[in-house]
Amino acid sequence: MTTSHVKRAFKYRFYPTDAQAAELSRTFGCVRKVYNLALAARTEAWARQERVNYNQTSAMLTAWKKTEELAYLNEVSSVPLQQALRNLQGAFTHFFGKRAKYPRFKSRKKSRKSAEYTTSAFRFRDGELRLAKMSEPLNMVWSRPLPEGSSPSTVTVSQDAAGRWFVSLLCDDPSVKHLPTTDAAVGIDAGLDHLLTLSTGEKIANARHERRDRAALAKAQRKLAKKAKGDGANRAKARRKVARIHARIADRRRDALHKITTRLVRENQTLVIENLTVRNMVKNRKLARAIGDAAWSQFRSMLEYKAQWYGREVITVDRWFPSSKLCSTCGALQDKMPLHVRTWTCDSCGTTHDRDVNAAKNLLAAGRAVAACGAGVRPQRSSPGGQSAMKQEISRREP
């Protein structure tokens, strides 16, 4: 077995004192201010067809601190402010690499509240974490231990919309090792009626986390809508109640996906999935809520980074591949596959298929072909019905 040298973020909840909460809130505000000022400066330079890099924005920060208007930036730790400039530099790097859109300004109400501290701005000793500008350690809930012998290289403090405080510790985790190689491989078909259908025939139920809390969420949202707009205490309280319900849904969904992806990665050497364009699929207004609740993108992300940790392989098959209409026994392509058809019999070989299991088997076969020849898998365009493969891809995921 090969040891994977990976960095993992260990996230814990903590309960700050009033003084710590005030200090962190000030830091969040200053981080947002510096990020926006630097983005404005770089945008103005961009309009003049000039580029401003991280070093130049760092020099700007020094100058801003000397002005009377922005002197309050000296009251918080300088490290999170510098990290905000580095994050902005990363955002522009992704933009220039055509991997993301142009960076956007941070909003006081909508943007994530967070501050990042490097080793010079915190002290971690004997299970106690002290941040710069704070005399007392954070009151953390140690829900799980850090890897033995490791210490954090970066600490990120954040507050979510529900008002909960979290601290994320980035550490080297020597306990992550490549698993023994196995011959097991599985095709995974994502859906809505069942969250996942495997080529083995197993179907993983869709818990529909959002539906469980839909009534409570709707009630809370109606109460929020009736509050007078502005920064009033009653509206803020109603907004937090809505956020708490959303957080509860997201926590349950994330926990379930972690358990599913960990099991799949541990049991299989090769995992084949479809390269779904979720961003386009949620434009279907009838399915948008259900697709969002299924969290296919989050599932894929978890599957890929865990496969990398444990020495597994994730293969993605082209989204145009007609996995539902292709007979996994003889390879015949059906002309049509209406939404209501959940089982069907092949006209060529007479095999009766479960629609989703058949799709998962086809994905596995296609994935093996990709692994063997390194080529993408695309449908037979000349075959009847080949042009409607994407429509079938969307329709077969309707509950």
The confidence band for 276, taking pLDDT boundaries of 50, 70 and 90, is confident
The predicted pLDDT at position 82 comes to 97
Q: And the tokens for 389?
A: 């493969």
* Cβ–Cβ under 8 Å, residues 328 and 297: no
The predicted pLDDT at position 353 comes to 85
Helices (H), 97-232: 209-212, 214-226
Clarify whether 356 is annotated catalytic.
Answer: yes
The predicted pLDDT at position 388 comes to 36
The confidence band for 206, taking pLDDT boundaries of 50, 70 and 90, is very high
Say yes or no to pLDDT of 1 above 60: no
Residue type, 152: P
| Portion of the chain with pLDDT greater than 90, in percent | 62
Say yes or no to pLDDT of 399 above 90: no
The predicted pLDDT at position 376 comes to 52
Lowest mean pLDDT among 26-30, 351-355, 358-362: 351-355
Say yes or no to pLDDT of 84 above 90: yes
The predicted pLDDT at position 34 comes to 97
The predicted pLDDT at position 390 comes to 35
The residue that leads in pLDDT, 280 or 129, is 129
How does DSSP classify residue 351? -
CA 26 vs. chain centroid, Å, equals 27
**Assigned fold of 178-206+249-399:** Nucleotidyltransferase; domain 5 (3.30.420)
The predicted pLDDT at position 95 comes to 93
How does DSSP classify residue 20? H
- Read off the pLDDT of residues 368-391 as tens digits, 9 standing for 90 and up: 887 776 555 444 333 333 333 333
Say yes or no to pLDDT of 109 above 80: yes
Domain with CATH 3.30.420 in the chain: 178-206+249-399
Distance CA 325, CA 380 (A): 12
| Pick from 394, 313, 320, 326: nearest CA to 362 | 326
Distances from the Cα of 189 to the Cαs of 197, 364, 390, 397, in angstroms?
5, 10, 14, 10
The confidence band for 395, taking pLDDT boundaries of 50, 70 and 90, is very low
How does DSSP classify residue 177? B
Residue 326 C-beta-side C-alpha neighbours within 13 Å: 21
Distances from the Cα of 329 to the Cαs of 96, 136, 208, in angstroms?
46, 66, 32
Clarify whether 274 is annotated catalytic.
Answer: yes
The predicted pLDDT at position 305 comes to 94
The predicted pLDDT at position 375 comes to 53
Q: What is the total residue count of the chain?
A: 399
Say yes or no to pLDDT of 267 above 50: yes
What is the DSSP pairing of strand 140-141 with strand 6-14? antiparallel
DSSP readout, 36-55? HHHHHHHHHHHHTT----HH
- Read off the pLDDT of residues 158-204 as tens digits, 9 standing for 90 and up: 999 999 999 999 999 888 889 999 999 999 999 888 999 999 999 99
Angle at which helices 54-65 and 18-47 cross, to 10°:
120
DSSP readout, 264-285? HHHH-SEEEEE---HHHHTTST
How does DSSP classify residue 3? B
Distance CA 116, CA 170 (A): 11
* Cβ–Cβ under 8 Å, residues 64 and 130: no
Q: Mean pLDDT throughout 100-106?
A: 94
Lowest mean pLDDT among 17-21, 207-211, 328-332: 328-332
Q: Which residues of 179-194 are buried (b: 16+ CB within 10 A; e: fewer)?
A: eeeeeebbbbbbbbbb
Q: Is 217 helix (H, G, I), strand (E, B) or coil?
A: helix
Q: Which of 23, 293, 356, 393 is catalytic?
A: 356
Helices (H), 268-354: 278-281, 288-294, 296-310
Q: Which of 173, 274, 293, 393 is catalytic?
A: 274
The predicted pLDDT at position 217 comes to 95
Report, in angstroms and rounded to the nearest whole number, the Rg of the chain calculated over CA atoms: 25
Q: What is the mean pLDDT of the chain?
A: 87
Clarify whether 189 is annotated catalytic.
Answer: yes
Q: Mean pLDDT throughout 148-163?
A: 93
The predicted pLDDT at position 221 comes to 96
Q: Which of 116, 173, 189, 210 is catalytic?
A: 189
